[in-house]
Amino acid sequence: MPGNQIAPPFAIMSQFDARPWAGLPLYTRPPDTISMPAFSGVGDGLFTDLLTFLNGRASVPGRVLDEDILATWTLSGGFPSVVNAYINADDRLVLESDLDFAVTAA
């Protein structure tokens, strides 16, 4: 329930600097240890707000889902020349290709 505060705290929406943790391990998921990136570029490790950091948005600059799909396509029947990946107005992930494909649970 909302309180009677005229100006609620906004600190969680402030810019977040993750550079002090660059390269340090975050957690272990055996047999792998997941670490923070090195943040070698200008502006790397600076996030618009803490929620952006925690949700992983913009966490790997230059990575695009449709390009990653093209790079790792393993289905039989050839390689697609077009792959589109986006989130539609209903917040659903949409994958489109010029080849027929099916996504199954694993």
pLDDT digits (tens, 9 = 90+) for 73-90: 766 666 667 778 888 888
In a domain, 100, yes or no: yes
- Predicted confidence at residue 56, as pLDDT, reads 67
Based on the domain organization, do 27 and 37 belong to the same domain?
yes
Q: Are residues 17 and 57 in the same domain?
A: yes
In terms of pTM, does the model score above 0.85?
Answer: no
Question: How many domains does the chain contain in total?
Answer: 2
Residue 98 forms part of a structural domain:
yes
Confidence grade of residue 2 (pLDDT, cut at 50, 70, 90): low
State pLDDT tens for residues 34-44.
888 888 777 78
Domain that holds residue 26: 7-62
Structure confidence at residue 101 (pLDDT)? 74
- Same domain for 78 and 57, yes or no, is no
Q: How far apart are the first and last CA of the chain?
A: 40
Residues 81 and 95 in one domain: yes
- 38-75 pLDDT, tens digit each: 887 777 888 877 777 777 665 555 667 777 777 777 66
With a cut of 70, say whether residue 4 has pLDDT above it. no
Are 46 and 88 members of one domain?
A: no
Is there a single domain that holds both residue 73 and residue 102? yes
Domain membership of residue 14 (yes or no) is yes
- Residue 1: inside a domain, yes or no? no
Q: b/e map of 15-46 (b: 16 or more CB within 10 Å)?
A: ebebeeeeeeeeeeeeeeeeebeebeeeeebe
List residues bridging with 68 in a β-sheet.
Answer: none
Sequence letter at residue 17:
D
Q: Within this chain, do residues 51 and 75 fall inside the same structural domain, yes or no?
A: no
